[in-house]
Structure 1
């Protein structure tokens, strides 16, 4: 008569234990997971935002001041060039003349001596006290009617390291007209390209007869390891003399 009561009490105790276990382990776990999920999502958003900001900064065009001079005159500013190393479009690289500064035609008309060996020099300030320069004869610049080409060479990190300055004329001669208008300038970028690596042949020592030496045997390769082992085995195998 007492066995059903015992079963009922045991079942009730087990049910109560499971219910307490679910309440105790359920809510705190959910509460602990919520901040972790929020922290992970915030970290992902922060990383995405940082990458996006880096791409925006890296893709932003850069301006470099352009100076010019004739002969031994001190360089004066004439404008700036805008280049975008991340873009493959040529139209984004351009020269912008400063209307308040003397342009090549004005500088040549006022400061040139007429000597065909006189040079017109262009300088580009690329930052950190570094200036790239190139020059052409003044007579070529005048013969080209001030059509010029500025080429910046970039290194593997996208930084300028060399400057080319060309004009459209190849021989000196009188220009068709004198103008005070800004020059017709084209700006190009030359990026560093990793070339093919040379394939090096393995150096092989030849014998006097022109043939490669034979491959050394196992003993020839490892004799200095084998001899100590053999000596240790021989010495350890000697029996001590019997004591009388």
Structure 2
């Protein structure tokens, strides 16, 4: 009769293969991108461009976006001077047809310092569906108008990666060997002497302590009687 432990590696293999099939799925993504150059708490988004990720597995993409006008560069510079954020909105549609909107931002001074070079990262779940979009730019921080009006955008696709698989087979075999050894009585008790016999030692120590506490009283009484004799 097979032990129930033998079914655990089989179940793990089935689960890992199911997860792997989702991660290996290759789909596409379409992104519409807007940005806000105003300072107010309510962003005034204007269209920046469109991005198509032709393969979520390889991250291959095409980017189409217009450059900034002189007036828009001046607005971006004012955001940097006031230590404000450059805000972005991205609407992402995947192979399933579901469309989700995400918001992200980066300090405006970093966008200026990088000469309008930024990185847009799309985060996917195990089913290749978008769960987040993040914008980053690596500066340095600047408050000067850049020498270019054109965006340089790199699109990155990130999704869960399979972690290390535990060696369950070896562990289960170890459990089986220990169980068989216990059944045959071959398991050795490697505990120390105190760990094995503490339940006998403790009562004996308590008895000795109690005896030591009562003996001085008896000795004291006998000494008093002897002192009364002549």
Q: TM-score, normalised by structure 2?
A: 0.51
Partner of 1:21: none
Q: Offset of 1:85 from its aligned partner?
A: 2.6
**Runs (5+) with no aligned partner, structure 2:** 1-24, 176-180, 186-230
Partner of 2:84: 118
User: Is structure 2 residue 137 aligned with structure 1 residue 167?
Assistant: yes
Equivalences for 1:45-194 in 2 at 5 Å? 61-70=28-37, 71=39, 72=41, 73-86=43-56, 88=58, 92-98=60-66, 103=68, 107-110=72-75, 112-127=78-93, 128=98, 130-169=100-139, 171-175=140-144, 177-179=146-148, 181-194=149-162
Q: TM-score, normalised by structure 1?
A: 0.48
Contact 2:92 2:100 (8 Å CA) reproduced: yes
Quickly say closer, same or farther: Cα 1:109–1:143, change in 2 above 3 A: same
Q: RMSD between aligned alpha carbons?
A: 3.5
Q: Offset of 1:156 from its aligned partner?
A: 1.6
Q: Offset of 1:197 from its aligned partner?
A: 3.3
Q: How many corresponding residue pairs?
A: 146
Max radius of gyration: which structure? 1
**Runs (5+) with no aligned partner, structure 1:** 1-57, 205-212, 218-244
Range that drifts further, 68-77 or 104-113: 104-113
Contact 1:116 1:139 (8 Å CA) reproduced: no
Contact 1:108 1:138 (8 Å CA) reproduced: no
CA distance in 2, matches of 1:104, 1:149: 21
